[in-house]
């Protein structure tokens, strides 16, 4: 499709100034096709996904048509979630910056009524809100739609999925019949079509095809990985690609909580977003993500509606989406404003058919990626540290350090040994421990029979072969030495694999109840009816006291120093 520049559209100078300030030059397909019909007063059905620029497609003509001399509500925009309503309001602010006298307000649940009463009483020509709160204000007579000129339903399919059909139809019935009605939806279900037939007048259908939605700026890869190794694979990809800001999508609220816990245990700054969070907590999480205080946001699809952050480096599909439409919504949050983005998907063997369905649906071949090995990560860490050394080489302020080096050399310490010791002190142990480095889900048989697998840098041991190798190294169970690492003490736990307990459950419980970082927990040996875990000697009493009377994966556990 031929691109259209904003200055080629019938827009006012104030709008072109705002658009230019936002860094936009060319209109997206949905914008170039929808703006003019809406300006001309037509009812429009826009079928487009997140990331296609649909907010500006209806926002620009809505702002253009507002009469600033009239302080009544002229445009009402309905959104399915608070986050999307807030995001739409913010973009309307930016687009209306140079149209003096135009006021935009938002109304949604989870926020005090006082501010909303004040803004509506003052007079706002454009109101953005969620169906429940809009209906509430109509019933309280604090929102008057008698002079409404334009009604916009954003992500109508999601509003119907969330059970808002009755509210939507009631709100539409309060608006004047001669109003203009704009509806945007990612899908066109029978329910959507019934609403368009009932409340729109000969609407013009504008559809952005999947080929137009596919962003050439996004590198799409899938990784064949075991279900229990998804987090480990994701962490390796984050470190190997030096990613700064990421969105991680899970299919369930419980999975969001689990992934956040696993990432935090590994030292990553991660927060979760799902429907069970109170509005205050949701606002706090989003503020931390937007300001960079949290660089990994783990979310469900519905909770993520309205998240619009331009600098997202990568989107991780931790779970293959249940609805194929969601995939397009997810990856549309990276690779924006002409920047490069990455979309990674974790695909266990049992989900390969879903991957093929997704490729047929999007008409895009998703290539298989390679999960970095521990040796790859070691090399990357070395190279990054080498660059830091080169960046810190200077001719100034070295007197104290030169004196220290001279003193060590006078004590017969070689320069090479000094440098090596300083490097080890600074960067730590870079050696890769032995063990299974294959996270792929391509092998048959019970995964617990593998000799070893890594979980965030910790080794999980299981099976007779592991015990035999441990005894050959002198790490006998009776000694309580485990790996034999200095400063570590081996603890006995009364739960094992038959109790449906995993290393992640053990680490999570100990870290939460004992208030110690998950990363300091050492080797974990899993057996059928019991387990062993190594913790730093200084934390032994803290762990035993903290875990007294506590559970691991909802099962009562006793823990003591191994005998």
The sheet that has 296-299: what strands, in order across it? 270-273, 296-299, 246-249, 314-317, 341-347, 218-224, 367-368
* Average pLDDT estimate for 272-277: 84
The whole-angstrom separation of Cα 23 and Cα 21 is 5
Which tens digit of pLDDT belongs to each residue from 33-59? 999 999 999 999 998 766 678 899 999
Q: Which residues pair with 181 in a beta bridge?
A: 151
Pick from 251-265, 275-289, 467-481: least confident: 467-481
pLDDT digits (tens, 9 = 90+) for 476-508: 333 344 666 788 899 999 998 888 888 878 987
Q: Using pLDDT thresholds of 50, 70 and 90, give the confidence band for residue 112.
A: confident
Q: What is the pLDDT of residue 2?
A: 64
Start-end of CATH 3.30.70.330 domains in the chain: 447-561
CATH 3.30.505.10: does it fit domain 215-371?
A: no
What integer pLDDT is reported at residue 119 of this predicted model? 93
CA–CA separation, 233 and 238 (whole Å): 9
> Which among 382, 374, 356, 385 has a CA at the least distance from the CA of 432?
374
The three-class DSSP label of residue 342 is strand
* Cβ atoms of 167 and 78 closer than 8 Å: no
> Does residue 277 carry a pLDDT above 70?
yes
Q: Pick 215 or 142 by higher pLDDT.
A: 142
**What is the token pair recorded at 447?**
């995964």
Say which range, 9-23, 122-136, 402-416, has the weakest mean pLDDT.
402-416
Strands 488-493 vs 531-536: parallel, antiparallel or unpaired: antiparallel
Distance between CA atoms of 104 and 265, rounded to whole angstroms?
42
For residue 81, pLDDT over 60 is answered with yes
Predicted local distance difference test score (pLDDT) of residue 561: 92
Q: Are 92 and 66 in contact (CB under 8 A)?
A: no
- 49, 185 Cβ separation under 8 angstroms: no
Residue from 30, 292, 309, 314 nearest 186 by CA: 30
What integer is the mean pLDDT of 209-226? 75
pLDDT above 80: residue 339: no
The C-alpha atoms of residue 147 and residue 150 are separated, in whole angstroms, by 9
Structure tokens at 428: 């730590």
Pairing of strands 531-536, 524-526: antiparallel
Q: How far apart are CA 101 and CA 78, in angstroms?
A: 22
Quick one: how far is CA 124 from the chain centroid? 33
- Does domain 447-561 fall under CATH 3.90.1150.10? My reply is no
| pLDDT at residue 431 in the model | 52
Q: Which residues contact 516 (CB under 8 A, 6 or more apart)?
A: 510, 535, 536, 539, 542, 543
Residue carrying structure tokens 């309503």: 85
User: Residue 345 in contact with residue 218, Cβ under 8 Å?
Assistant: no
Beta bridge partners of 455: 458
Q: Are 87 and 53 in contact (CB under 8 A)?
A: no
In 3D space, the residue among 104, 164, 161, 181 whose CA is nearest the CA of residue 130 turns out to be: 164
Taking residues 392-415, what's their average pLDDT?
A: 81
The predicted pLDDT at position 163 comes to 84
pTM, to two decimals: 0.51
Region label for 412, one of left (φ > 0), alpha (ψ between -120 and 50) or beta (otherwise) = left
- The sheet with strand 524-526 has its strands ordered as 452-455, 458-462, 524-526, 531-536, 488-493, 559-561
- pLDDT bin (cut points 50, 70, 90) of residue 455 is very low
% of residues, the chain, pLDDT over 90: 40
CATH superfamily of 4-212: P-loop containing nucleotide triphosphate hydrolases (3.40.50.300)
Cα dihedral sign, 540-543-546-547:
negative
pLDDT at 420: 79
Half-sphere exposure for 173 (CA within 13 Å, toward CB)? 7
Return the bridge partners of 534, or none: 490
Torsions phi, psi for 316 (to 5 deg)? -105, 120
Percentage of the chain lying above the pLDDT 70 cut: 87
User: Can you give the pLDDT at residue 209?
Assistant: 61
- Which DSSP string corresponds to 24-44? --EEPHHHHHHHHHHHTT--E
Residues of the chain with CATH 3.40.50.300: 4-212, 215-371
Residues in the chain: 563
150-192 pLDDT tens trace: 999 998 988 888 888 999 999 999 999 999 999 998 888 888 8
Residue environment code for 500-518, b if the CB has 16+ CB neighbours within 10 A, otherwise e: ebbbbbbbbbbbebbebeb
Place of tokens 């992640």: 504
At residue 73, the pLDDT reads 97
pLDDT tens readout for residues 526-554: 888 899 999 998 889 989 988 988 888 77
């Amino acid at each position: 499709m031929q691109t259209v520049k904003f200055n080629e559209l019938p827009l006012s100078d104030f709008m072109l100034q705002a658009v230019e300030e936002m860094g936009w030059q060319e209109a997206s397909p949905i914008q170039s096709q929808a703006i003019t019909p809406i300006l001309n007063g037509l009812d429009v059905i826009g079928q487009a996904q997140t990331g296609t620029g649909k907010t500006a497609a209806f926002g620009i003509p809505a702002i253009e048509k507002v009469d600033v001399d009239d302080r009544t509500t002229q445009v009402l925009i309905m959104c399915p979630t608070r986050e999307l309503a807030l995001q739409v309001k913010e973009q309307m602010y930016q687009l209306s910056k140079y149209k003096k006298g135009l006021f935009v307000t938002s109304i949604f649940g989870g926020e005090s009524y006082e501010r909303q009463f004040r803004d509506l009483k003052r007079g706002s020509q454009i109101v953005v809100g969620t169906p429940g709160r809009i209906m509430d204000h109509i019933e309280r007579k604090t929102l008057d739609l008698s002079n409404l000129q334009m009604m916009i339903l954003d992500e109508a399919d999601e509003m119907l999925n969330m059970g808002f059909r009755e509210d939507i139809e009631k709100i539409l019935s309060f608006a004047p019949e001669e109003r203009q009605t704009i509806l945007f939806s990612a899908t066109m279900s029978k329910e959507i079509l019934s609403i368009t037939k009932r409340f729109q007048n000969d609407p013009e259908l504008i559809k952005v095809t999947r080929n137009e939605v596919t962003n050439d700026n996004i590198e799409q890869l899938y990784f064949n990985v075991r279900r229990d190794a998804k987090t480990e694979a994701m962490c390796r990809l984050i470190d190997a690609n030096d990613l700064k800001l990421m969105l991680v999508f899970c299919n369930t609220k419980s999975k969001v909580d689990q992934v956040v816990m696993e990432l935090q245990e590994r030292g990553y700054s991660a927060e979760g977003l799902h429907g069970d969070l109170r509005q205050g907590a949701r606002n706090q999480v989003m503020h931390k993500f937007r300001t960079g205080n949290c660089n990994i946001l783990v979310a469900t699809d519905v909770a993520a509606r309205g998240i619009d952050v331009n600098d997202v480096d990568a989107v991780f599909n931790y779970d293959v989406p249940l609805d194929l439409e969601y995939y397009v919504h997810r990856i549309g949050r990276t690779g924006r404003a002409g920047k490069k983005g990455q979309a990674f998907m974790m695909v266990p063997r049992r989900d390969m058919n879903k991957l093929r369905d997704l490729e047929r649906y999007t008409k895009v071949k998703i290539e298989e990626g390679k999960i970095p090995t521990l040796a790859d990560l070691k090399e990357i860490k070395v190279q990054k540290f080498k660059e830091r050394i080169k960046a810190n080489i200077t001719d100034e302020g070295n007197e104290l350090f030169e004196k220290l080096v001279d003193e060590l050399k006078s004590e017969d310490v070689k320069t090479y040994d000094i440098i090596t010791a300083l490097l080890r002190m600074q960067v730590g142990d870079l050696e890769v421990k032995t063990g299974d480095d294959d996270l792929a889900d391509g092998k048959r048989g019970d995964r617990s029979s593998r000799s070893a697998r890594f979980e965030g840098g910790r080794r999980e041991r299981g099976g007779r072969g592991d015990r035999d190798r441990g005894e050959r190294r002198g790490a006998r169970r009776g000694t309580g030495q485990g790996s034999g690492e200095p400063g570590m003490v081996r603890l006995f736990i009364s739960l094992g694999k038959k109790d449906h307990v995993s290393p992640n459950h053990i680490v999570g419980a100990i870290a939460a109840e004992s208030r110690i970082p998950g990363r300091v927990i050492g080797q974990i040996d899993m057996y059928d009816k019991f387990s062993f875990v190594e913790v730093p000697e200084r934390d032994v009493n803290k762990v035993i006291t903290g875990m007294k009377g506590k559970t691991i994966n909802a099962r009562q556990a006793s823990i003591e120093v191994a005998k």
